[in-house]
Amino acid sequence: MLNASKKINVLVVDNQPTTLSGMRVLFSKTNDINLIGELSSGYDLYHSRLTFKASIILLDIAVSGSDPADLIHWIHDNRPNACVLIFTHLNDMKSLTKMMDVGACGYLSKEEPESNLVNAIRKVANGEIVFSQQQHKQIKDWKEKVFNKIAQLTHQELETLKLLAKGWTNQQIALALDISTNTAAFHVTNVMKKLGVSSRMEAAVWAITNMSDNLE
């Protein structure tokens, strides 16, 4: 928890000039938030001494240079007292869920009022986690929906889905799973039916979107 008499040192990782300009102005109007630096990529964060001076790292997960989950793990290992607050235009359930799961302290949209960002920074600096009740519910509902569909698949159907995500044909799937082409086609049909999609391409997109960490 931050001492009330101390400044909140914020390091911003974002490559959008408009966002950075807005934050400079916003933080200059506060008496407790100190913008100590701006980095444009995850790669820069790995190599910046500023990382070790930050109380809060304000991260846009759309920046290039690293996987945001790996980046947060690295921050936790190397700067355990720093909190990572996500501030991004990405508004999909996969990103939101992933950032909560890897230990971000909150997830804010760039569409939210500026006052929400300032309030979130202050709360996080005082030891709070600022994912909203609505975000918790959205994540719970999304996980149940995804996991319930995966649970319907047999082992071979799940393996078939992983291969569909790679763009493999029925013949390639059959060879990989040591089954006949007709059986592979049967599995593909069952996978599409259980996922509620109408084509193998849609099944592949579903897998890439919802199972990106489990496709190998």
Q: Which residue has the tokens 């390091």?
A: 11
Q: Let me know if the fold of 8-132 is the same as that of 153-211.
A: no
Q: Does domain 153-211 have CATH number 1.10.10.10?
A: yes
State the burial class of residue 69 (Cβ atoms within 10 Å of its Cβ: 0-12, 13-18, 19+). middle
Are 40 and 63 a contacting pair, CB within 8 Å? Answer: yes
Lookup: tokens for 127: 């030891």
Q: pLDDT by residue (tens digit) across 4-46?
A: 458 899 999 999 999 999 999 999 999 999 999 999 999 999 9
**What is residue 210's predicted lDDT score, i.e. its pLDDT?**
87
Alpha-helix runs per DSSP H in the chain: 17-28, 42-47, 68-78, 93-101, 114-125, 133-152, 155-164, 170-177, 181-195, 200-210
pLDDT attached to residue 214: 64
Q: Which pLDDT score is estimated for 6?
A: 80
pLDDT of residue 141: 92
Q: What is the DSSP letter of 91?
A: -
pTM for the model: 0.80
Beta carbons within 10 angstroms of residue 112's beta carbon = 11
The hierarchical CATH code for the domain 8-132 is: 3.40.50.2300
Q: Domains of the chain: which residue ranges? A: 8-132, 153-211
Q: Which residues, listed in sequence order, are joined to residue 106 by a DSSP beta bridge?
A: 85
> How far apart are the C-alpha atoms of 153 and 88, rounded to whole Å?
34
Structure tokens at 92: 């999909």
Model pLDDT, residue 211:
84
Query: Which residues of the chain are under the pLDDT cut of 70?
Result: 1-5, 213-216
**Strand pairing class (83-88; 8-13):** unpaired
127 touches 1 (CB < 8 A)? yes
Classified as helix, coil or strand, 98 is helix
pLDDT of residue 4: 47
